[in-house]
Amino acid sequence: MTEIRNVVNILTYLIAVIGVLPLIGETGVLYAAAFFIAMIYGAWAESRKKVSMPRLWLNILSVVIILFTVSRMNMDNMVIPALEALLAIQAVKFIEPNKKFRDYMQIYMIAMFMAAGSALISLSIWFLAFVLVLFMLISVSMVLLTYMTEDERTVMPLKHIKRIIYKTAAIPLISIPVAVMLFTVLPRTNYPVFQFLNREDGTMTGFSDSVALGNVSEIQQDSRLIFRAEMPEIMGSSPYWRGIVMDSFDGRAWSASESQERKKRIRPPEKLTEQTIYLEPYGDKYLFGLDVPFHVDMRGSDREQGFVYALNRPVQKRIQYTAFSASDKYLTEEYQSYEKFLELPVLSAELADFADSFKDTASGEELAELMQVYFIRNGFKYSLDRLPVSDTPLEDFLFSSKLGNCEYYASAAAVILRRNGIPARLVGGYAGGYYNGAGGYYAVPQRNAHVWVEAYIDDKGWRRIDPTPATASVFSGGERTLAFRMRLLADTVNFYWNALVINYDFSKQVKAVRSVRSAAEKLKNDYKTVVSQAVKAIPYILSVVILLLAWRFRGAFRAKGDERYAVSFRRLMKAKGYDVNPSAGLTEIDIPDPELRKLADEFTSVFHGAYYRSRTFNADEKKRLTELLKQIKGIS
C-alpha cells in the first residue's frame, strides 16, 4: 500500500522543477538558487515533521517580493522581473508548512505561469515539451488530490495508483488534435501583440557597413546560427552567401559608399535558384542570399548597389524571406564610371612597390585569377590568432607574419588589383554551411563569416575572386561525427518548429485557405466533368448491362415457354442434393430414391413426349407436369 500524499508530493516537486527549467539562464542566479534551496529545505522539513516559518511571515515575505518586483519593472524590462518574482513566490510556497489543497493548486498555477512566461523570452520547441509534461503531471496530481482531500492519510495499492496515472496522463494527449485545429484556424496577426512586454531577443554581432582588418575574426569564433537556407544541395562546390558590398578603403577598414547610379542595362540570368531564408536576429539590416541574389521577396527591403538587399530597420526578430539567385560566373551589373573602384589611400613605398611588381607578371583577368592562388603558392597561412593590428596591418601581413584571415587576404588582393587598373571591391557575407539532408536546408553559423573580392573584367562583368587559402577546408562543412549528426537532428526539429509554428501567421492562413479553396474548386470541376462524362456514357453502360443480364439469365428467357418445366425440375433436383449437369438430359440424373425416381421418370416421360416432338404442351400435360413438380418438392 502507498500513501497518496507521498505520491502527490513527488509530483508537486516535479511540476515545480519543470516550471523553473525554462527560466534557467534567463533569470538571476540568486533567484534560481533560492528556489532550489527552499525546495530542498521544504522536503527535509516535511519528512522530519519540522515546523517551518509561520504562514503569516511567509505572506508578508510574498508581499515584499511583489512590491520589490513592481519597483524594478519598466517598459524595457517587464518580463524578467515578473518571472523572478514568480520564482521567489514559488520558493516561499515550498517553505510553507502543512500544505493544503489550495497550496498545491497555487504551486501548479505558478509553475504554469512560469512556463508561459518563458515563451515571452524564447518560444522554442522546448516550451511545447515543458507545457505538455506539465499538463500531464498536473492532471494526474489533481486527480490524486481529490482522494487526499477526503483523508490526508489515504492509502492505495500501487497498481491502482499506476492505473490512475496512466489513464489521467492520457487526457492532455487527447486534447492535442483539438489544440492543433484551433492553432490552425483561429485568426492570427503578423504583429506580435505582446512584444511590448518582452525584451528584445539577444542579437548577434554581425556585419555592418564597414569591415576593419581583424574584426571578422571575432565573428568567426561564434558558433551560433545566423540563418538557414531551405534549398537543394549544391553539389561540387561550397556556396557563398552575399550580404554587403564595400568599395571604399582607407588603409585599415573597408566601408560602403553612397549608392552610385547604375546603368539601366542588367542582363537577366537564364536560371535562378530559389531559397527560403530563415534569418536569426543579428542586429543589422542586411539580408543574405546565395551569391548572386537577383531578387529578394521581403516586405520593406530595398536593393542597393552590388545586389545588396537591406531592410529599413535592424533585424531584431527572426524573419523569413525568399531569395532568387543566379550562379553565373560574371555579375552583369554595370556602372557609368568605375573610378570609385580604383581609388586607394596613400600606400607605403613598400606596399606600392609590391603591388606594382605584378605588372610584369599578369594583367586583366589573368591577374584576377592569379590572386586566387598567389597566397597559397607563397606560404601564407590562414589564422584567427596573432593577427596584425598595427597602424600598417597590410604591410605586417604581407611582409612579416604571413598570417591572416579572410579580410587580410581580400584586402591585399583588392589593393593589388586596383593598383594595376582593375576595378575591385570587397563582398561580405558567409561561405559554406552544413547541409541538412533531413530538413533540406543549409545551416550557416556565424563562424562562417567571410569576405571575398569582386573584380570587374572588361566586357564580361564582375567576377568573384576568393584569395583566402583555407576557404575550402574551413567553410566546407565536412565534419560528420556522431555528435555533429545529433546536432543536425536537433536543428532539424528546431527548423520545422520555426517554419511551421513560430512563423505561422495570418498570411500563411490566407494562403492555406486559398489552397483549400483552389483544391475544392478543382475537385468541383473534376466532379462536374466526371458527371458530364458519365451522363454521356449512360446509354452505352445500359446497353452493356442489358447484354450481360441477358447472357447471365439466358436460360430463364428460354424457359418462358414449355422449357420452364425442365428448368424447374433441374432446380428441384439440385436443391435436393443431386448432381445436375445443366447440359445433360433429364434422364441422366442419378436418383437412388425409388419414390422420387418414379415421379422423375413420369415427369421426363410427359415432358419428352411433347418437347422432342416439337409441339406445345396441351392443358392436361401442363397440369400434370405442375402436379408432378409439387409432389417432387414435397418429398423430403
- Spatial separation of the C-alpha atoms in residues 367 and 465, rounded to whole Å: 11
pLDDT over threshold 70, residue 498 = no
- Spatial separation of the C-alpha atoms in residues 294 and 242, rounded to whole Å: 11
Please give the order of strands across the beta sheet that includes 289-290.
289-290, 240-246, 424-431, 449-457, 461-465, 330-331
Closest CA to 555 of 543, 542, 544, 566: 566
- Spatial separation of the C-alpha atoms in residues 208 and 449, rounded to whole Å: 12
pLDDT for the residue 275? 94
Q: Which residue has the higher pLDDT, 200 or 146?
A: 146
Q: Which amino acid is at 281?
A: P
CA distances for 565 relative to 590, 594, 618, angstroms: 19, 22, 13
pLDDT for the residue 507? 59
Count of H helices and E strands in the chain? Answer: 19, 22
- Spatial separation of the C-alpha atoms in residues 391 and 362, rounded to whole Å: 30
* Residue tagged 555579375 (cell numbers): 331
Q: Annotate 33-46 with b (16+ C-beta within 10 A) or e (fewer).
A: ebbeebbeebeebb
Please give the order of strands across the beta sheet that includes 273-279.
293-297, 319-325, 273-279, 225-230, 441-445, 434-436
Name which of 234-238, 310-314, 441-445, 493-497 the model is least confident about.
493-497
With beta carbons less than 8 A apart as the criterion, state whether 295 and 323 touch.
Answer: yes
Strand 381-382 with 403-404, pairing: parallel
- With 0.75 as the threshold, say if the pTM is over it: no
- Spatial separation of the C-alpha atoms in residues 371 and 303, rounded to whole Å: 29
What are the residues facing 245 on neighbouring strands?
427
Task: Grade residue 53 by pLDDT with cuts at 50, 70 and 90.
Answer: low
Question: 176-223: per-residue pLDDT in tens?
Answer: 676 666 555 555 554 444 444 444 444 555 556 678 886 665 666 677
pLDDT over threshold 60, residue 506 = no
pLDDT for the residue 531? 72
Ranges of each domain in the chain: 2-195, 210-502, 556-634
Strand 225-230 with 273-279, pairing: antiparallel
Neighbours of 628 (CB within 10 A): 19
Peptide bond into 545 cis (omega under 30): no
pLDDT over threshold 70, residue 136 = yes
Say whether 384 sits in a helix, a strand or coil: coil
Name which of 38-47, 114-123, 227-236, 463-472 the model is least confident about.
114-123
pLDDT for the residue 100? 82
Pinpoint the alpha helices (H) of 192-322. Answer: 216-219
With beta carbons less than 8 A apart as the criterion, state whether 253 and 207 touch.
Answer: no
pLDDT for the residue 308? 92
Question: 223-259: per-residue pLDDT in tens?
Answer: 788 999 999 998 888 899 999 999 999 888 899 887 6
Task: Grade residue 587 by pLDDT with cuts at 50, 70 and 90.
Answer: confident
- Spatial separation of the C-alpha atoms in residues 383 and 432, rounded to whole Å: 18
pLDDT for the residue 336? 81
pLDDT over threshold 80, residue 533 = no
Q: Which amino acid is at 331?
A: L
Q: Which residue has the higher pLDDT, 311 or 183?
A: 311
Task: Grade residue 147 by pLDDT with cuts at 50, 70 and 90.
Answer: confident
* Residue tagged 489544440 (cell numbers): 179
pLDDT for the residue 145? 85
Count of positions (residues) in the chain: 636
Name which of 8-12, 100-104, 188-192, 383-387 the model is least confident about.
188-192
Question: 23-38: per-residue pLDDT in tens?
Answer: 887 777 888 888 888 8
pLDDT for the residue 264? 47
With beta carbons less than 8 A apart as the criterion, state whether 127 and 115 touch.
Answer: yes
Q: Which amino acid is at 243?
A: G
- Spatial separation of the C-alpha atoms in residues 431 and 472, rounded to whole Å: 9
Say whether 310 sits in a helix, a strand or coil: strand
pLDDT for the residue 481? 64
pLDDT for the residue 508? 58
Q: Which residue has the higher pLDDT, 142 or 517?
A: 142
Question: 267-309: per-residue pLDDT in tens?
Answer: 667 789 999 999 988 888 999 999 899 899 998 898 888 899 9
pLDDT over threshold 80, residue 112 = yes
Q: For helices 101-118 and 125-150, give the axis angle rounded to 10 degrees.
A: 180
Closest CA to 405 of 429, 379, 386: 386
Cell of 317: 526578430
Say whether 179 sits in a helix, a strand or coil: helix
- Spatial separation of the C-alpha atoms in residues 168 and 138, rounded to whole Å: 10
- Spatial separation of the C-alpha atoms in residues 321 and 351, rounded to whole Å: 43
Cell of 423: 576595378
- The DSSP output letter for 470 is T
Of the chain, the end-to-end C-alpha distance in Å amounts to 71
- Spatial separation of the C-alpha atoms in residues 109 and 553, rounded to whole Å: 77
Q: Which residue has the higher pLDDT, 55 or 477?
A: 55
With beta carbons less than 8 A apart as the criterion, state whether 245 and 288 touch.
Answer: no
pLDDT over threshold 80, residue 262 = no
Cell of 588: 441422366
- Spatial separation of the C-alpha atoms in residues 520 and 523, rounded to whole Å: 5
pLDDT over threshold 70, residue 484 = no
- 126: CB partners within 8 A, 6+ apart: 22
pLDDT for the residue 196? 42
For 242, counting Cβ atoms within 10 Å of its Cβ (0-12 exposed, 13-18 middle, 19+ buried), the class is buried
With beta carbons less than 8 A apart as the criterion, state whether 245 and 426 touch.
Answer: yes
**Category of 122 on φ-ψ map: left (φ > 0), alpha (ψ -120 to 50) or beta:** beta
Calculate what percentage of the chain has a pLDDT beyond 70. 78
CA distances for 179 relative to 65, 118, 173, angstroms: 35, 20, 10
pLDDT for the residue 244? 93
Question: 592-636: per-residue pLDDT in tens?
Answer: 888 888 888 888 888 887 776 667 788 888 888 888 888 888 887
What are the residues facing 324 on neighbouring strands?
274, 295
Q: Annotate 107-135 with b (16+ C-beta within 10 A) or e (fewer).
A: bbebbbbbbbbbbbbebbbebeebbebbb
Task: Grade residue 325 by pLDDT with cuts at 50, 70 and 90.
Answer: very high
Cell of 181: 485545429
Question: 334-361: per-residue pLDDT in tens?
Answer: 788 889 999 999 999 999 999 999 998 8
- The CA-CA-CA angle for residues 262, 266, 271, to 5°, reads 145
pLDDT for the residue 289? 95
Average of per-residue pLDDT values in the chain: 79
Q: Which residue has the higher pLDDT, 144 or 124?
A: 144
**Category of 414 on φ-ψ map: left (φ > 0), alpha (ψ -120 to 50) or beta:** alpha
Cell of 279: 534569418
pLDDT over threshold 70, residue 312 = yes
